[in-house]
C-alpha cells in the first residue's frame, strides 16, 4: 500500500500527530501506520555554504575580495544532523512512499526548512502541505483531511529562500567590510551588520542620542487642595493662555522660575489662614465609550507581556509556543493577524461552551464571561470575523482545551490574558465618565481631571484589581448636572513642588516591537499603522530573535523594561550614516525590502529580480565602506570649544574628541595629551556633554554610566587640570528593575531524596530552584553571615567567623537555565538519571539558540553535554545569526596581541570610588609628554575615595 512520508519541524509535533491520527507504531527515529510514515527534522538541517567553502580566497578577511556575490547559493548539512538526514533520506526513498507531506510549522521559515530537505533529496515525488492553525486533536485530523498541493505555496517557498539569501549577502559583505575598517587591535569580535538587525539598532540609537543630549532643568509645579460642600479634592495649577513654542520642554503646568511659583502660591493662599479663602470652581462631565481591544497577534501579545510583567519578546513567544505545542491551549502564535475568518463562528461558539464549564482557581472568571456571551450573543462580529484581515494565520485565540493544574507559570499567564482578550472582544464597550474641573483661586487656575468607570462592558472579563485606570467617581459640584459654573469652594492648602525635567523615555521592548512593525514610524493611528503593516522590519516570528541578537552581539543592553544601545552600537550607526550607507541603518528603507519579500510571495516580483536588487545593495555597502576616509567623517561638524590643555579648537573624531592638530608642529614637540574618549565608563560621550565639559570644566549630572556589576548610575564628568585626566564623579545609582530570572509557581510536594544527602534530605521546589533541604538551609546561613559581616564592617567591629561548609555536595538545579524554563518533569528525569534528555531552545549569552543535555556534576550543580559534532566551522554573525559561545567564526575575528604599551583592559569599577580615565598619548610623544607634565601627587586612600563617592559600593 502506498504511503505518504510526513515530515514535521520538531519531534514533539510528530508525537502529537501520531497520537491524534492513531494507528502508528514507533520505530527508531520515525513512526509508521498503514497509510503514513511519520518523521521529523530538528529545525534547519541544512545551511548555506560559508564564503571560504565557495572559494578559498575568501578564507582571509580582506577588502580586496569583497563583495562576495555567488552565482548560485548552495546548502550543506549542518553539523550534528547527519544521522537525522540519513533517516529522512532512507524513508523518502522507500518504494512504498509515493508522496511527501510538509508538516513543518505553517509559515515562511517552516516552508524553508522543508524545501531545504526536498532539495537535498532531489525527489520527484509530489508534495502536499499540512497547514495547522491549532494543535488540538480535531485540528490535526481536519488538517490531514484538507491537505493542500505543495505548488500552492511555491510563492511562500521562494520568499523564504530570498529572505535567507538576502540575509547572507548583506550580512557576509557588510560584516566583513565594516569589521576590517572599524575593528580596533584590542577587539576580538566582529562589527556585525545585517539587513534586519542594523535598522532595528538604529531605532534604539536615535532615541538614545535624544536621551544623552538632555540637560536637566529645574522646574516647579503648584498643587492645591480644595473643599467643596460634601467632598475634598486636589488640583494642579496650569496656564490657560499657554501656547506651544520652540521650547519642547514647556507645558501648561510647568513653571521654570522659582519666583513665579512662589507668587502663584501666595496669590492662591490669600485668606486661607483666616479660613475664608474662597475660590470658584466649574466643571464638565462627559460620557466616553471604550471599545473592546482587538484580538492578539504575536506582536501585540509580546507588547502586552512586556507592559504587564517586563518580559522580553522571546519569553512571551516561548510561553505562547508552549501553550500551542505542549498544552494545545492556543492557536498558532506566530501570526500577524488580529482577526478570525468568517467560517470560524461555529468554532468560537464551541470554545465558549467549553470555557463556560471551567472550574477551579484562575478559570472561574472565564466561565462567567463565556456564559454571558452565550446568553446575550456576540457583539463586534464584523470587526472580529474579517477575512480581509486574515493572512496566512488568524489571531491567537484559545482552542477550548482547559489548562492543567500543573501548567508552567509563564504559559498560564499568557493563556490567561489571551483568553480574557478573546472573551472581551465580543463584549460591549466600557462606559466612562470624564470629568474636567477648573478652580480659580486668587486669579490663578487649577485643574482636576478624572475618569470613573460607569459600566464595565468588556472590562468585566479582566481579573479583579487589574483595572488600574478606574478611579472612584468624583462627586459633582452640583448634583444631577453635567455642567456647573462658579461654585464656591474653600482653598485649604497650596504647595510648590520642585522637580527637574526628565530625558525622554528610552524605548521599551514592547515599544520597539511596535516601531519594527510600523517600519520605524512612531504611530498611534491604527489605520495608518495598518497601511505600513507589510513594510515592517522582520516578521512577528523573527523580531524576538532580532532583539536578542543585538544584545548578544554587544550592540544593546536591557535596562529595566527598556533597551539602550551600547557605545559600540551608537558608533556603528553613526559611522554608517556618515559614509552614506543610510539604507542599512534605515527602518523605512529596510521595511520596503520586507514588502518586496511579500511581493515575491504573492507573485508581484520575481525571485531573480529580488536577488539582483540585494546583490546591488551589498555591492553599494561594500564600496562605500572600503573607500571612506576617517578624516572626512566629522570634517563638517562645528568646533566644540578651546582645548583646556593647549587652547586649540576641540574637534570630533571617530573614537574620541581632541584638539585640532597643527600640521606645522615639529615631530620633536609633544602632542597635546588631552583626549575625551567616546566610551567612558560604559557611556557614550555625545557632543552636548563635551561642550559643557570644555565650557565649565564639569558636566551636569549625566545618566547612563555602567558599573562592572551591570548596574547603571549617574555621574558628573570633570577635568583634572593637574594630571589632565577625565574623572567620573558618581552622583547616585539608578533604580533597576527586578531580576530577569522568572519566578515560578511552587509545587510543595518533594521531588525525591537528595542523591548526595541521603533519604532524610529531600529535593524541594522554590520559585527559582529545585534544591535539597541542606542547600536551602545553607543558603539561609550564608545570607545571615553576609548580613552580619556587613553590619560588623559598618560598626567597626571584628567580622563573625565564616560558617563551616557542608561535608557533602549540596544539590541545586535552577528552574531557568540559559533563558529556558526547566519543567518539573525534566527535573525528575535529571534527578533519576543524573542527566536530562536532549533539551532544545536554550539561549547562549551571544543570543544564539542551542540544544544540550544537562548533566549532574559531583559538586551537586549542573553542566552541559552537547550533541556530537565535527570541528566548528566558520559562521558569519552578519548573516542575521550568531555562533555558539566560544566558537571560532567569521563573526569572531581571531584576537591579536595588544600592542606594546597598550592599555590593559580591566573590569570597570563600581561607582563607589571616583573613576579616573587616563588620557592616551601617541608613540614616542607619550613618554615625553608624561615626563613634562608629571607632578608628585599623594594617592587618595580607599577611605577618602569611599567618602567622596555618592553611591556606596555594593
Contact in structure between 283 and 446 (CB atoms under 8 Å): no
The Cα 922–Cα 905 span in angstroms is: 18
Q: How many helices (H) and strands (E) does the chain have?
A: 26, 37
Name the grid cell of 837.
534528555
The Cα 901–Cα 896 span in angstroms is: 14
Residue recorded with cell 519531534? 11
Judged by DSSP in three states, 326 sits in: coil
Contact in structure between 292 and 427 (CB atoms under 8 Å): yes
Name residues whose C-beta falls within 8 Å of residue 344's C-beta, 6 or more positions apart in sequence. 385, 394
Contact in structure between 625 and 181 (CB atoms under 8 Å): yes
Contact in structure between 878 and 171 (CB atoms under 8 Å): yes
Least Cα distance to 808 among 755, 864, 760 occurs for 755
CB atoms within 10 A of CB 368: 14
Name the grid cell of 727.
574623572
Buried b or exposed e, range 826-844, using 16+ CB within 10 angstroms: bbeebbeeeebeebebbbb
The Cα 191–Cα 208 span in angstroms is: 20
E strands in 686-757: 702-706, 712-720, 725-733, 752-754
- Residue 854, CA atoms < 13 Å, CB-side half-sphere: 26
Using the 8-state DSSP alphabet, how is residue 667 labeled?
Answer: T
Q: What does R_g of the chain's alpha carbons equal in angstroms?
A: 32
* Catalytic residue selected from 165, 324, 332, 744: 332
332 is catalytic: yes
Contact in structure between 880 and 584 (CB atoms under 8 Å): no
Contact in structure between 193 and 572 (CB atoms under 8 Å): yes
| CA separation, residue 121 to residues 86, 416, 643, 647, 803 (Å) | 10, 43, 68, 72, 64
Backbone CA torsion sign across 870, 875, 881, 883: positive
| CA separation, residue 908 to residues 24, 166, 559, 617, 655 (Å) | 60, 39, 18, 40, 19
The Cα 660–Cα 677 span in angstroms is: 15
Name residues whose C-beta falls within 8 Å of residue 785's C-beta, 6 or more positions apart in sequence. 800, 802, 803
Measured in degrees and rounded to the nearest 5, phi and psi for residue 299 equal -65, -45
Judged by DSSP in three states, 915 sits in: strand
Helices (H), 473-606: 509-517, 526-531, 543-552, 567-578, 587-602
The residues assigned a catalytic role are 332
Amino acid at each position: 500500500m502506498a504511503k505518504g512520508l510526513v515530515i514535521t519541524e520538531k519531534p514533539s509535533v510528530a508525537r502529537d500527530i501520531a497520537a491524534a491520527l492513531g494507528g502508528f507504531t514507533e520505530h527508531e527515529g520515525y513512526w509508521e501506520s498503514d497509510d503514513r510514515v511519520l518523521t521529523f527534522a530538528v529545525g534547519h538541517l541544512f545551511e548555506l555554504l560559508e564564503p571560504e567553502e565557495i572559494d578559498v580566497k575568501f578564507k582571509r578577511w580582506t577588502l580586496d575580495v569583497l563583495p562576495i556575490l555567488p552565482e548560485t547559493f548552495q546548502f550543506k548539512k549542518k553539523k550534528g544532523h547527519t544521522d537525522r538526514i540519513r533517516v529522512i533520506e532512507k524513508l523518502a526513498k522507500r518504494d512504498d512512499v509515493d508522496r511527501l507531506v510538509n508538516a513543518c510549522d505553517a509559515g515562511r521559515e517552516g516552508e524553508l526548512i522543508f524545501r531545504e530537505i526536498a532539495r537535498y533529496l532531489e525527489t520527484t515525488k509530489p508534495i502536499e502541505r499540512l497547514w495547522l492553525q491549532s494543535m488540538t486533536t480535531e485540528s490535526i485530523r481536519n488538517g490531514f483531511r484538507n491537505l493542500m498541493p505543495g505548488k500552492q505555496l511555491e510563492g511562500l517557498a521562494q520568499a523564504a529562500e530570498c529572505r535567507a539569501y538576502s540575509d547572507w549577502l548583506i550580512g557576509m559583505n557588510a560584516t566583513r567590510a565594516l569589521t576590517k575598517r572599524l575593528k580596533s587591535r584590542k577587539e576580538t569580535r566582529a562589527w556585525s551588520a545585517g539587513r534586519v538587525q542594523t535598522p532595528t539598532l538604529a531605532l534604539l540609537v536615535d532615541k538614545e542620542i535624544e536621551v544623552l543630549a538632555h540637560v536637566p532643568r529645574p522646574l516647579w509645579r503648584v498643587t492645591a487642595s480644595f473643599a467643596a460642600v460634601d467632598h475634598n479634592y486636589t488640583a494642579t495649577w496650569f496656564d490657560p493662555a499657554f501656547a506651544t513654542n520652540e521650547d519642547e520642554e514647556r507645558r501648561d503646568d510647568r513653571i521654570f522660575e522659582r519666583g513665579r511659583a512662589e507668587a502663584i502660591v501666595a496669590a492662591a493662599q490669600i485668606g486661607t489662614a483666616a479660613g475664608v479663602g474662597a475660590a470658584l470652581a466649574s466643571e464638565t462631565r462627559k460620557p466616553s465609550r471604550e471599545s473592546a481591544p482587538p484580538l492578539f497577534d504575536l506582536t501585540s501579545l509580546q507588547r502586552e507581556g512586556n507592559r504587564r510583567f517586563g518580559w522580553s519578546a522571546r519569553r512571551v513567544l516561548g510561553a505562547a509556543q508552549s501553550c500551542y505545542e505542549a498544552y494545545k491551549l492556543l492557536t498558532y502564535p506566530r501570526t500577524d493577524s488580529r482577526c478570525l475568518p468568517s467560517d470560524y463562528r461555529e468554532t468560537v461558539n464551541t470554545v465558549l461552551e467549553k470555557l463556560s464549564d471551567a472550574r477551579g482557581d484562575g478559570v472561574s472568571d472565564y466561565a462567567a464571561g463565556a456564559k454571558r456571551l452565550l446568553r446575550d450573543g456576540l457583539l463586534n462580529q464584523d470587526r472580529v470575523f474579517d477575512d480581509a484581515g486574515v493572512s496566512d494565520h488568524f489571531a491567537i485565540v484559545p482552542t477550548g482545551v482547559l489548562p492543567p493544574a500543573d501548567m508552567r507559570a509563564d504559559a498560564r499567564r499568557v493563556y490567561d490574558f489571551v483568553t480574557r482578550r478573546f472573551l472581551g472582544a465580543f463584549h460591549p464597550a466600557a462606559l466612562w465618565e470624564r470629568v474636567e474641573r477648573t478652580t480659580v483661586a486668587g486669579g490663578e487656575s487649577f485643574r482636576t481631571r478624572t475618569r470613573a468607570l460607569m459600566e464595565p462592558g468588556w472590562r468585566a472579563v479582566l481579573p479583579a484589581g487589574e483595572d488600574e485606570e478606574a478611579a472612584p467617581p468624583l462627586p459633582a459640584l452640583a448634583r444631577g448636572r453635567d455642567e456647573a459654573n462658579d461654585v464656591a469652594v474653600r482653598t485649604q492648602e497650596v504647595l510648590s513642588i520642585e522637580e527637574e525635567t526628565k530625558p525622554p523615555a528610552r524605548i521599551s521592548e514592547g515599544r520597539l516591537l511596535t516601531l519594527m512593525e510600523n517600519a520605524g514610524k512612531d504611530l498611534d493611528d491604527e489605520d495608518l499603522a495598518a497601511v505600513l503593516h507589510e513594510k515592517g522590519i522582520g516578521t512577528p516570528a523573527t523580531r524576538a530573535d532580532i532583539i536578542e541578537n543585538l544584545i548578544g552581539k554587544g550592540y544593546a543592553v536591557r535596562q529595566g523594561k527598556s533597551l539602550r544601545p551600547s557605545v559600540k552600537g551608537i558608533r556603528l550607526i553613526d559611522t554608517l550614516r556618515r559614509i552614506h550607507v543610510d539604507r542599512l541603518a534605515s527602518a523605512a528603507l529596510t521595511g520596503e525590502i520586507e514588502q518586496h519579500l511579500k511581493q515575491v510571495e504573492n507573485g508581484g516580483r520575481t525571485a531573480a529580480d529580488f536577488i539582483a536588487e540585494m546583490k546591488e545593495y551589498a555591492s553599494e555597502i561594500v564600496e562605500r565602506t572600503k573607500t571612506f576616509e576617517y578624516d572626512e567623517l566629522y570634517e563638517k561638524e562645528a568646533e566644540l570649544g578651546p582645548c583646556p590643555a593647549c587652547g586649540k579648537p576641540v574637534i570630533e573624531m571617530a573614537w574620541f574628541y581632541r584638539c585640532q592638530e597643527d600640521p606645522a608642529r615639529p615631530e620633536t614637540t609633544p602632542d597635546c595629551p588631552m583626549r575625551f574618549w567616546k566610551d567612558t565608563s560604559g557611556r557614550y560621550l555625545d557632543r552636548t556633554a563635551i561642550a559643557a565639559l570644555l565650557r565649565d570644566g564639569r558636566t551636569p549630572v549625566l545618566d547612563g554610566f555602567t558599573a562592572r556589576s551591570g548596574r547603571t548610575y549617574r555621574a558628573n564628568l570633570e577635568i583634572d587640570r593637574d594630571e589632565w585626566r577625565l574623572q567620573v564623579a558618581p552622583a547616585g545609582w539608578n533604580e533597576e528593575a527586578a531580576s530577569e530570572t522568572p519566578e515560578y509557581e511552587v509545587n510543595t510536594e518533594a521531588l525525591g531524596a537528595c542523591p548526595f544527602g541521603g533519604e532524610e534530605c529531600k529535593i524541594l521546589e522554590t520559585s527559582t530552584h529545585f534544591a535539597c533541604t541542606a542547600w536551602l538551609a545553607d543558603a539561609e546561613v550564608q545570607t545571615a553571615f553576609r548580613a552580619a559581616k556587613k553590619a560588623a564592617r559598618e560598626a567597626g567591629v571584628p567580622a563573625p567567623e565564616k560558617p563551616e561548609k557542608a561535608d557533602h555536595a549540596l544539590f541545586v538545579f535552577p528552574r531557568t537555565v540559559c533563558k529556558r524554563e526547566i519543567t518539573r518533569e525534566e527535573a525528575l528525569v535529571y534527578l533519576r538519571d543524573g542527566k536530562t534528555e536532549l533539551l532544545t531552545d536554550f539561549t547562549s549569552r551571544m543570543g544564539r539558540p542551542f540544544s544540550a543535555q544537562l548533566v549532574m556534576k559531583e559538586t551537586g550543580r549542573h553542566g552541559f553535554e552537547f550533541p556530537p559534532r565535527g570541528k566548528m566551522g566558520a559562521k558569519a554573525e552578519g548573516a542575521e545569526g550568531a555562533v555558539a559561545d566560544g566558537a571560532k567564526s567569521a563573526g569572531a575575528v581571531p584576537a591579536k596581541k595588544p600592542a606594546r604599551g597598550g592599555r590593559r583592559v580591566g573590569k570597570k569599577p563600581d561607582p563607589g570610588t571616583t573613576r579616573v580615565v587616563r588620557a592616551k598619548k601617541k608613540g614616542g610623544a607619550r613618554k615625553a609628554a608624561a615626563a613634562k607634565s608629571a607632578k608628585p601627587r599623594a594617592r587618595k586612600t580607599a577611605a577618602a575615595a569611599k567618602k567622596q563617592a555618592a553611591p556606596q559600593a555594593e
